[in-house]
Chains A and B, each alone.
Chain A
Amino acid sequence: MSSPSSEIFRRGVQIQKRTLIAWSAALVLLALSVVSAWPSMESSGALEDFSTGLSPELASALGVDQIASASGYLKGNLYAVLLPLLLGLMAVTATTALTGGDEEAGRLELLLALPVARRQVFLVRFLCVAFGLALTSVLVWLSVYGSVVSLDMDVSAGGVAAVTLTVALLAVLHAGIAYAIVGFGFGRGPALGVAAGVLVVGYLLHGIAPMSDALEPLANVSPWEWALGSDPLLNGVPWGGVALLVAVSVVVVAAGTYAVDRRDIKNA
């Protein structure tokens, strides 16, 4: 990495340091509290009743269809909804803050007048966000994996790694969507709204469309389906889905980078 890039990267990480620590701490805490509740849940047998009364489709939509098993419990309480949603929001807010937010506040004015290419500044800042997501994901992964081992849960180590990877890539994709919208000059607010909207609609398509035969094909357009459709916690890395997540992320980031180089920088 050339010297200007590493300088931009270091500064970008420094800027989001506090929020990154806060998000990581919150998500690690969430993961730990979910996992540590498992032994008492399992022994009480409360989980057996949890999904009775729900239709199998709805139980599947909520990810609680196999909740009485250890991996079903982890999926239902962490990986099906909560973690991807929160990590996705972290991705979107961090991206819009570092790109559109700083631009609109005039904090990029001097940086972009220095002898560094604009695409370099934006791309490296996107990498800062990806780095933050990777760091948080690894911490969550280590916490879950450590707990699984110490509580002797019947969950495969590979499965935890696989679902962590797909959830992280799902978040990166949404960071990419926010980045592209800023790149095309729509600003921080629209980028935040649209990317968060895609995140939520994606969940609904993935979770709810399968309940109706007519809507079921729609689930396939949801990035959630690519990441979690094949249940990576049980079945390992879904390489097709991973490829799709990576490919779409690359496309949106490339498009945003192309666009940002050809537009005006907003005035504070």
Chain B
Amino acid sequence: MTPLIECTDVTKKFGDFTALSRLNLTVPQGVVYGYLGPNGAGKSTTIRMLMGLSRPTSGQVRVLGQDPTEPEVRRRIGYLPGELRLDERLTIGQTLASWGRLRGLTDTAYRDDLVQRFGVDPSRQVRGLSTGNRRKVGLVGAFMARPELLILDEPTNGLDPLMQQVFLSTVEEARDNGQSVLLSSHILSEVERVADLVAVLQGGKLAASGPTQELRRQAAQRFHITFAEGEDVPLTALAALDGASGVERRRAEGQEVSLAWAGSPDALLRFLAGHRITTLTAPEPDLEEAFLEYYQRDVPGSRSSTAEEPSPAADPVR
């Protein structure tokens, strides 16, 4: 089966600045794909190439097996730009109708359903809409033709929590319907719920990619340990353990210690067995936790290699 999106060795330069460096990305059919990274990592640069708005400096971009600068490919894609600029002179209804005519959309039942769901008032003038309300209009426009592929750049920007839920269930519904969704975000928790696969971009390079569950397992796990009263708190020894990072007291002179742990917790438990502790808690691992590591590294390696080579010294921030 042809992958929906295939980037091969894609590099994009703006003058001397390399926005994207030898990116390889494959998005298979029928998945929700989270495209993650901090601001300026190159997410929008990639997405604009996927939509045929710009071309790679080198390498090849294929969407639905074709060059996305061909207009016909784009009939099968719904796009929400990161910087959404709507025509101020129109009402929401006119805006959606205009997009529909340009797409040749005839069946408007789903569009009307989406309008209801996102709580958009078609009679309202675009001028005067808030960022979040504009985004909702853009989302209705992207979903309304039920395209095979949805490419959404920072879709939840400016949406209130209720609308974020509506958005996420619309994404899930699209996937159940056989559509695929690429969504970019710098907020990991909002992608975590729906994404089957994720890729993490940093400084124009792919830092990690794989199934969300797997990355979650490999993600550094935070542990909170309370040592018994009178027991010496072995901070240095903990920090020296292979796998520990960000070792710190939660309060100065307190007995509570917090640390991030990568890989199997075997060694940590064996170490703790030699001490008297009163509590040991491990909150649900969070992708945020895992990715903070990437964000703090200058030259990211692949996720698996960082999991094998944790370096406590490289992580003085926590």
Please report A residues at the B interface, Cβ cutoff 8 Å: 3-4, 7-8, 11, 14-15, 105-107, 109-118, 120, 261, 264-265, 267-268
Contacts and interface: CB of A to CB of B under 8 A. Distances in A.
Contacts, number: 76
Contact of B79 (A8, A106, A113, A265): A113
Contacts of A8: 102
29 contacts: A3-B104, A4-B104, A7-B98, A7-B101, A8-B102, A14-B89, A106-B85, A109-B83, A110-B81, A110-B99, A111-B102, A112-B52, A112-B53, A113-B53, A113-B74, A113-B77, A114-B99, A114-B102, A114-B103, A115-B71, A115-B73, A115-B74, A115-B75, A115-B103, A117-B71, A264-B48, A264-B55, A267-B48, A268-B83
Tell which of B89, B102, B141 has the most Cβ of chain A within 10 Å: B102
* Chain B interface residue bracket vs A: 20 to 34
A51 to B, nearest CB: 48
Given A3-B104, A268-B85, 10 more contacts: A4-B104, A7-B101, A8-B102, A107-B87, A110-B79, A110-B85, A115-B71, A265-B48, A267-B48, A268-B83
Contacts of B104: 3-4, 115
Interface string B58-79: 0000000000010111110101
Interface string B136-164: 00100100000000000000000000000
B81 A113 contact: yes
A109 B102 contact: no
B81 A109 contact: yes
B53 A3 contact: no
B84 interface: yes
B83 A114 contact: no
B296 interface: no
A21 to B, nearest CB: 14
Contacts of A115: 71-75, 102-104
A14 B54 CA distance: 28
Nearest to B50: A113
A215 B44 CA distance: 53
A265 B85 CA distance: 14
Contacts of B141: 110
B51 interface: yes
Interface in B80-110: 81, 83-87, 89, 98-99, 101-104
A261 B54 CA distance: 10
Contact of B83 (A106, A116, A118): A106
A106 B81 contact: yes
B103 A107 contact: no
A11 B86 CA distance: 13
Contacts of A3: 101, 104
Nearest to A10: B98
Nearest to A119: B71
Nearest to A107: B85
B87 A265 contact: no
A109 B53 contact: yes
Contacts of B44: 267
Contact of B87 (A15, A114, A116, A261): A15
Nearest to B95: A110
A7 to B, nearest CB: 5
A114 B74 contact: yes
Contacts of A113: 51-53, 74, 77, 79, 81
A105 B73 CA distance: 25
